[in-house]
Amino acid sequence: MVEKNSVAWVAMTAGYGKRGNVVEAEMVFDEIQMPDVSCWAAMVACYAQNGCRRSHWMYKKMREAKVRVNEVAMVGAISACTQLGGVEIAATLAKHVEERKCKETEYDQTSHAGLVEEGCQYFELITQVFGIEPLKEHYACMVDLLGRAGLIENAYNLVIDYVGVADAKIWGPLLGACKVHGNAELSEIAARHLFEIEQHDTGNYELLANTYAEANKWDDADRVKKMMTQRGMVEAPGCSWRGSTV
């Protein structure tokens, strides 16, 4: 017998949920020995889809199980709940995600890179299992995930693939990742878009200038600094273009 992986379990749970077979979905979930966050998210969405208040109970059980929140998976559940009428549980899930993000102000690049495959898997589940189009928030999560892992080109390609108008929530993580991983070329592309979106945000200019400086592109760094001066911007206290290790 072929052992089911997380994708298979989620597909079965969501499939029963879409057809209104909540009991069958519960039976599938109960068979999972160690459900991960995508399995929990699928069950929460199943309850919300069928107007069942047990979505709150399932969320509570997930918290009690100390399941590590994966933002991509949870945003999928939030979107599903919102579109299917579970606005209240969607708000609760969103708050949980934000709390988790606040606790993870620092990250380990190696461990984060290990989540990329899992995150991409969840991203596909959003359309293939939940049956919804990825929202801007989904793309922002994935750009951040790929960027943190150093997959800058992949993150940029995802931005290009986005059919909507990418805003600061999408370009911002890409610019930050370019700074961390020293990709001056894509940093300029991301910054150019952010300059149009957030015209008075000095942080974007400083990130670009520091990226240039750390790549020893002093002329480009000075060019950005002059651009700030021409636009009447003031450097943040303690900001230095040269030797910056922000």
Phi, psi of 207 (to 5 degrees): -60, -45
The pLDDT score that the predictor gives to residue 50 is 79
Chain centroid to Cα 3, Å, comes to 29
The pLDDT score that the predictor gives to residue 79 is 55
pTM for this prediction = 0.60
Q: Counting every residue, how long is the chain?
A: 246
Q: Is there a contact between 204 and 194 (Cβ–Cβ < 8 Å)?
A: yes
The pLDDT score that the predictor gives to residue 245 is 38
C-alpha to C-alpha distance for 110 and 161, rounded to whole angstroms: 26
The pLDDT score that the predictor gives to residue 106 is 40
- 135 token code pair: 């929202």
- 224 token code pair: 């950005």
User: What are the structural domain ranges in the chain?
Assistant: 1-134, 136-246
- 99 token code pair: 């709390």
Provide the residue type at 73 as one letter: A
- 144 token code pair: 């951040």
Torsional class of 129: left (φ above 0), alpha (ψ -120 to 50), beta (otherwise): alpha
The pLDDT score that the predictor gives to residue 123 is 73
C-alpha to C-alpha distance for 185 and 183, rounded to whole angstroms: 6
- Per-run averaged pLDDT (10 residues), the chain, 246 residues: 67 85 92 86 80 75 76 58 53 59 44 60 66 74 85 93 88 94 94 92 92 93 91 68 44
